[in-house]
Every structure is written in C-alpha cells, then in structure tokens.
Amino acid sequence: MPRARPDCNPQEEKKRPSFRVRMLMWLVNLVVIGCVVVAGYVSVIFLQMPSLDDILHETRPAAIIFLDRDGNEIRSAGRIMGMPVSTESVPPHVWQAIVAIEDKRFFQHGPIDARGIIRAAVSNLVRGRVAAGGSSITQQTAKNVFLSREKKLSRKVQELILSYWLENRFDKNQILDLYMNRVSLVGGMRGIDAAARVMFQTSAREMSLAQAAQIAAMLKAPTTYSPLKNPEKNIARARVILQEMVRQGYVTLNQARAAAAELAPAAPAPDTNLYRYWTDFVLDETRSRLGGFNSDLYVYTTLDMGLQERIAAILPSHVGEYQGAVVAMSRDGAIRAMSGGADYQASQYNRTLALRQPGSTFKPVVYMVALERGMTPDSYVNDSPFAIGDYNPKNYNERYYGDIPLSVAFSKSVNSVPLKLTEEYGIDSVLDMAGRLGVGTRLRREYSTVLGASEMSLLDLTTIYAVIWNDGQSVRPYSITKITDPAGNILYERNPSDAIAVIGAQTVEFMTQMLYDVISTGTGRRANAPGVLGGKTGTSNENRDAWFVGATADLVIGVWVGNDNFTPMSSKITGGTIPAEIFHEIVE
C-alpha cells in the first residue's frame, strides 16, 4: 500500500483553487491594480491642471479702444482678444460655418465624438498619414482655453477631463461662444472678431457669409489657410465650407453660390502707426483722468482721421534728413490731428511736446502788449540796432529799415522792434500776456525771451495762436470728449468751462490783420492759400528750429522742423520755407 507524502495534506489539496480560477483571480488583481494606477495617474494630472474658474475669468491687461470724433475706431492698445461675441450676437452663418467644417454633429454628441474619432482614424489609416482630426469643438475649446499645444499624453488626458467638465457646466451654445472668443487665428490675438478686424476690417457681428467661410477656413491651420498670406488655399477651403453648409441645411445653394462669388484675398489692415503719436498722447491723458483702470475702455477723442492721414503723408515728404511735427486744433482747443515725427516706427518720441526755442513765433505776445497799450498796425516804430547790456541781437539778414509801420515790422519779423517795445512796456507785461495766453509758467524773465529763446512746445505755441483766432477767448487744448466702459457707463466726460476773454476785441482785430500781412507780403508767403487767415514764421538761433503757425476758418495748425539733437540745419531752413510749405500743402 503506497505511503502518503508527509508534506501533503489531502484535505488541503482538495481546497486549493484550480489553475483557471487562479488565472482569473490574477487578471482581476491586475485590472484592479491597473485601475488604481490609472486613477492615480489621472488624479496627478488633475491636480496639475490650472484652476478652471480662474482661467474662465482670466485677468489680462485692460484694452483701450480709441475712437475718432465720429465714433469710428482708430486703433486699440493692449487688446489681446477681439470684442466678445456669442451665437446670439453674430449672424447665424458665422457660427454655422464653424460647426459645418469643424464638428457637424456638435449639437448631437457629448464631449467626445466617438463616431468622428473612428472616421478620422480610418481616413488617416487609408491615406497613410494624419489627414483628418477627430477632436470635437468641446475638446478644441478645452485646448484653446486651458492648455498648451504640447503633444503629450498628459495634455490629452487633461483635454478629456476638461471636455467633460465643460459639457457638465455649460450648454452647447455657451461652449461655442467660448470657442469663438478664445481660438487663436491672428498674430497672438484671439477670437474670430480679432481675425475679422485684421483680415476684413470689420467686426464678427458684421461678417458676410463669404467672410465667415474664409475665417472658418483658417481654423484648420491659421497661417496655411490665411486669406492674407495664402489666399488661394483659403478660398479653396472656404468653398468646401460653403458646400458643407448647403449639405447640412444651413444655407441654400443660391446663397452659397453668391457667397462663393464674393470670396477674395484679404487686404492688409491699414497702418495704424499713422495714429500712434496720437494714441500714445491720448493714453497718457486717459491715465491722468482715471488713474489706474482694470476694465476695457472706450476713449472718444477729437481726432479727424482724414486730416491725420493727410498730415502723416505730407510731413515725411518735406522734412527729408530732418525731423518734423505738426499739430492741428480747432479754435476751441479740440486737437484734430497730431504727428510727432516723420516715422513712428523709427522714433516714438512725440515732438509736438518737445521743448524748443520758438524764435519769432513768440513775437505776437509782445505785439499784443503794444496793441493793448494803444498802438495800431499803422503806428510807426523804428527798426535800428538795439542793445541792452551785452545782449545785442541783430535782424536775421542784418538789414534795418528805419521808421516803419508796426505791421511791417511784424510781417518782416525784425528783431529790434519787439525788443524796443519790451523796453518801453516792461518785460513783466510781456510775461503777464504770455500767462494770460496759458504759456507763461516756464518763460525766463530776460530780454532773449522776447525773441523766442525760452523753450516751449509746439502744442503750447499753437495754443497761443488759437486764442487769437478764437476771438481772444481762452483756449485749453483737449483730446478726449468722454471715456466709457464696454457697457457704455460714462467714466469721464469733458465738462467745458466757460471761456474767458483774455484779449480785447480791438487787439484781436489788429493782431489778425497783422498775421494776414505775414502771409500776403511778409515772411510767410509760401503758406498762403485760399482760405488761410494768416500765420507767423519763426526761426531759432543758427537755424536749429523752424516754425510756422497759421489758421483757416476751422483750424489752427502749428508746424516745427529741426534736428532732435539741437544741431543747426545745414540747409539754412527757416520758418518761411519748409514749415510754411508743409502748412500750405495741408490746407491747400
């Protein structure tokens, strides 16, 4: 009889699981461990995700939208997104074009379009390359709003988590709104509104069916299908989108055919550098009015865009190797145009605010003192050498005219007469007049100030002349009429104070007559043109600065030409040459 093995218990052998059961148990354990690992991995990825609420309400630099005197947008500063849009605020064909080409079953499936993923996988397998994507609009929204474009497994897991979170929190229209506002299509800016403004100079709210198809065409690859950079590819894909919109019942065949006939390459956006001196100036003014601000702003300005574009085109063609600046304002001080240099891209320095010696353009201040004291344009004065102490300036051409009418002394811009008038009426009376005109705070109390040796800006100088042509009423230059938030709430509105009479009516009459003589018979003849009321030339020592300030019925315009480094202009430029010619061309 065989003996049992001492280490074997028949009872225990009976209870031991079979191989099949042990394999099943092993597989179950493996699945559990796998689930734990996957859950742990997903948890780690989840913890690494950004705060969803924070990103949905992300903070960004407040954008400032500048508008001209008629409410037209000039340009924006700090804008990284287009204006917010929604499926309700844009024409239906705008969002329909997106859905038709990006995710035609968007309103039927959940966060993930399983059918679309399978279809894309089969298509890619047949073609042997990645030719189609299966991501839903929800997935693309998750990627655009929250994630980087890194091709990592962790990012894809995050995308799936976010897709489910988005569909749980928002309805389909809200997700589509997020997508339209956050998708990146143009040079760092986000949103279809930004793309529409750059490509077609219109808002998303006003896009035609053709334009909507061309913007939707960019979604696949913004640069490859750009209507600006690759118009042929963009138009070809836009045609496909129009066909899909017909197939899916969004538009009729006739509508699609009409839109297809309108497809065209995008034109480059206008060069907003033409307005940059102006918008930089207004931005500083905005900050001085509001201090800090956290919301987007609409700044309504006094700019005349047509005049600004004209000045920006004229100035560089005249100054050549030198620099120049122009400011134009209405009689009440509303600044209508400002060009602070010949080329903003080359130099952002705004020369309308630079302190320079005004030369003879300061002389009206002295002459108005004399007119107030009883002199008239016909009063005789003596033009002869003048000296006070060591100060003995000469006339520009070193020629003296003897006894001449006051108006002739002014039109020929002689130097001795305003000095003699100052000696008679006192330097304090000249500084007082300058103070009444709004420019007296920085002037030096010395005789050289009479001939324009105390520095002032072109904006200040133009203001002096605006007072004269504003019938002697005080003028305070202004650039902003109101500032609102996006909802239209007024944050600032100009409340003009009553103008104060700072020059008497007779003085104004005599002064305007003398200013007209300058352009008709004097140093400013090159500025004369139909409708010009008068003006004055000015040239500082050694031709470092050349000026002309003149007026029409609507505008007072100041022009400066010189070198930034204060060196003399080698061509002996005077106020009666290039500055007067620039003025003439602006108003002609």
Tens of pLDDT, residue by residue over 481-515, are 999 998 899 999 999 888 899 999 999 999 999 99
According to DSSP H, which parts of 249-397 are helical?
A: 253-262, 276-290, 305-319, 363-372
CA distance 334 to 555: 10
Whole-number percent of the chain with pLDDT over 90: 66
Residue located via tokens 């000026």: 547
Please state, in angstroms and rounded to a whole number, the distance separating the CA atoms of residues 83 and 370.
Answer: 58
What is the tens place of the pLDDT at every residue in 58-96? Answer: 555 678 999 999 999 898 887 667 788 999 999 999 999
Q: Which of 225, 233, 72, 56 is nearest to 145 (CA)?
A: 56
- Position 13 pLDDT exceeds 60: no
Distance CA 304, CA 74 (A): 10
Is the model's pLDDT at 256 over the cut of 80? yes
pLDDT > 80? residue 301: yes
Q: What is the pLDDT of residues 124-167, one digit of tens each?
A: 555 554 444 568 888 888 877 664 455 554 556 677 777 787 88
Instruction: Report strand pairing: 534-539 vs 545-551.
Output: antiparallel
**Residue 115 token pair:** 């059918």
Q: Which residue has the higher pLDDT, 135 or 236?
A: 236
d(CA 367, CA 346) in angstroms, rounded, equals: 40
- Name the band, by pLDDT with cuts 50, 70 and 90, for residue 250: very high
- Tens digits of residue pLDDT in 506-561: 999 999 999 999 999 999 999 999 999 999 999 999 999 999 999 999 999 999 99
Does pLDDT of 400 surpass 80? yes
Selection from 201, 178, 181, 177 nearest residue 189 by Cα = 181
pLDDT band at 37 (very low <50, low <70, confident <90, very high): low
Q: Which residues pair with 482 in a beta bridge?
A: 300, 493
Whether 47 shows a pLDDT value over 90: the answer reads no
Say whether pLDDT at 46 is over 60.
no
Residue 572 CA: distances (Å) to CA of 97, 536, 578: 63, 18, 10
Please, which pLDDT band fits residue 41 given cuts at 50, 70 and 90?
A: very low
Q: Any residues with CB less than 8 A from the CB of 214 and at least 6 apart, and which?
A: 199, 200, 227, 234, 235, 238, 263, 266
List helix spans (H) across 356-502: 363-372, 406-411, 416-425, 427-436, 458-469
pLDDT for res 75: 87
**Least confident segment among 331-345, 363-377, 437-451:** 437-451
User: Can you say how many angstroms the Cα of residue 18 is from the centroid of all Cα atoms in its chain?
Assistant: 79
**Cβ-based neighbours of 308, under 8 Å, separated by 6 or more:** 274, 275, 278, 336, 337, 338, 339
